[in-house]
Amino acid sequence: MVLVEHVLHKVLTYIPYVLVLMDMRFEGVTCGRDGSVDNHMEMGKKLLAAGQLADALSHFHAAVDGDSKNYMAYFRRATVFLAMGKSKSALPDLSRVIELKPDFTSARLQRGNILLKQGRLDEAESDFKKVMKSNPSEKEQKEAQSQLTKSDEIQRLVAQAHSSFSSQDYVTAAAHLDTIIDTCIWDVASREMRAECFIQTGEMGKAISDLKATSKLKSDNTKAFYKLSTIYYHLGDHEMSLNEVRECLKLDPDHKQCYNHYKLVKKLNKQIQSAEALIQEQRYEDAVNKYEDVMKTEPNVQHFSALAKERICHALTQSQQGSRAISVCSEVLTSDPENVNALKDRAAAYILEEQYEDAIKDYETAAKHSENDRGIKEGLEKAQRLLKQSQRRDYYKILGVKRNAQKKEIIKAYRKLAQQWHPDNFQDPEEKKRAEKKFINIAQAKEVLTDPEKRTKFDNGEDPMDPESQQGHHHRHGGFHGFQGFNPFGSGPFSFKFNFN
């Protein structure tokens, strides 16, 4: 049974091939050289008409291989290349057609059009003139005459563009080149010149666009890749700069300019990546040092200095070095007043330094340039709460400690002040009364700042000892109980026997 199935499978497998051979036989197609070429030509024409370009191309390849002097095979293949947008591949085929049949005006007209688009004006004009002299059809004659007129106009514009460029009138030169490139879309020389005009006028995005085009239009264009890399570098895009210079070295590993530039960009790229990794690891001081190295590696490109300072500003803010952060962030904002990242970081640093009004200004400025940034909104609300709170009481100021003080520092400050302002130290009734009030504030400050939950609330602009803040009403409790639920003296007569812990 297995053997029968195996044989049946073999038969079914070969049926399509048998049918094809039968079709060829009944159509009178032979397997000889000439018959095979004719068959490929016919199949290629049908597939081309159906828009199946890749299959059509395969048949025309076979036709050319079968008969190297069949000018129509070359012409059909050139037609497919043009339909696929591969003018470079079409050009040799059209030249071969003209070589085999010099009076084939359609091929010469097509070649002239390609040469015109490539900016090879003299060669294009030669083809158009020969078409005019070769008894063309009316349509071909009109097209050749039109293209010849256009070519003459382009010749004139090219001369003007070169003159303006030599005179350093880059705007005028670029305008002429715009018109030239509208027609000569594959003209490498014109695009290179226009890219240089854009570089000189500071239009780097347009220069990049032209140089990318030339890197594709011209084989082994190391010059384009080097220029692209240096433009990206001076724009501060170290990653794109590295990508482009690597393309240059793929074409020519021994290219001196590209290799030297590659070493510099690679070093800078590595430093920036390392610095960012340190920030992610919250190793902020190490990140600051690494970005300082970036500025040493490239002191002359403003974009890298600005990037380094912006990230140093961020790292210092994150490490709660408010004063240093404000200084560096301010440097960034002097040259780039709308830098949202620097505004946010400086605002956070102002909060660390308890300069709440300045923080509010920075957050408000940042919000104008980034309306939907949730961090800005939250930061602004926090700064506003803290400002309002600072106008009432500030537990950090009461104990004389920084906002980032550790618990040990807070307890130490509390002990010192509690001993200093203990009411038992005062005999005069007025002084004792003032000391009692001061002592309550000190005790409340210690209560809030040594309790993580209460301290978090306070840091976010709420006063956990203030019933007005906590319960949303305006009734305060007077006397030495201070705020509701808190009495450092306990109940009954004052004994002032405290354990200062």
Q: CA-CA distance, 1 to 449, in Å (whole number)?
A: 90
- Write out the two tokens for 168: 């350093």
Range with lowest mean pLDDT among 61-75, 259-273, 404-418, 451-465: 451-465
**DSSP code per residue over 279-320:** HHTT-HHHHHHHHHHHHHH-SS-HHHHHHHHHHHHHHHHHTT
In a domain, 276, yes or no: yes
76 and 9 share one domain = no
What confidence tier does 25 reach under pLDDT thresholds 50, 70, 90?
Answer: very low
Q: CA-CA distance, 58 to 37, in Å (whole number)?
A: 12
Please give the single-letter amino acid code of residue 294. Answer: V
User: What pLDDT does 15 receive?
Assistant: 33
Over residues 286-318, the pLDDT tens digits come to 999 999 999 999 999 999 999 999 999 999 999
Over residues 354-376, the pLDDT tens digits come to 899 999 999 999 999 998 899 99
Q: What is the CATH number of the domain that holds 53?
A: 1.25.40.10
**DSSP code per residue over 142-188:** HHHHHHHHHHHHHHHHHHHHHHHHHTT-HHHHHHHHHHHHHH-TT-H
347 and 438 share one domain = no
10 and 34 share one domain = no
Length of the chain in terms of residues written: 501
User: What pLDDT does 468 receive?
Assistant: 63
User: What pLDDT does 488 receive?
Assistant: 55
In a domain, 263, yes or no: yes
What residues have CB less than 8 Å from 318, skipping those under 6 apart? 279, 282, 284
- Write out the two tokens for 292: 């300082």
User: What pLDDT does 452 receive?
Assistant: 93
Over residues 138-153, the pLDDT tens digits come to 999 999 999 999 999 9
The residue among 372, 306, 294 whose CA lies nearest residue 335 is 306
Whether residue 4 has pLDDT greater than 60 = no
Domain extent, residue 14, equals 1-29
Whether residue 232 has pLDDT greater than 90 = yes
Q: CA-CA distance, 185 to 273, in Å (whole number)?
A: 40
Whether residue 473 has pLDDT greater than 70 = no
Whether residue 9 has pLDDT greater than 70 = no
238 and 363 share one domain = yes
User: What pLDDT does 97 receive?
Assistant: 95
Burial 415-453, CB ≥16 within 10 A → b, else e: eebbeebbbeeeeeeeebeebbebbbbbbbbbbbbeeee
Over residues 167-193, the pLDDT tens digits come to 999 999 999 999 999 999 999 999 999
Q: What is the CATH number of the domain that holds 429?
A: 1.10.287.110
User: What pLDDT does 189 receive?
Assistant: 96
In a domain, 246, yes or no: yes
Angle between helix axes 121-133 and 105-117 (nearest 10 degrees) is 160
Secondary structure (H, E, C), 463-475: CCCCHHHHHCCCC
* Residues 307 and 236: beta-carbon distance below 8 Å: yes
User: What pLDDT does 470 receive?
Assistant: 54
* Residues 84 and 53: beta-carbon distance below 8 Å: yes
Angle between helix axes 138-166 and 121-133 (nearest 10 degrees) is 160
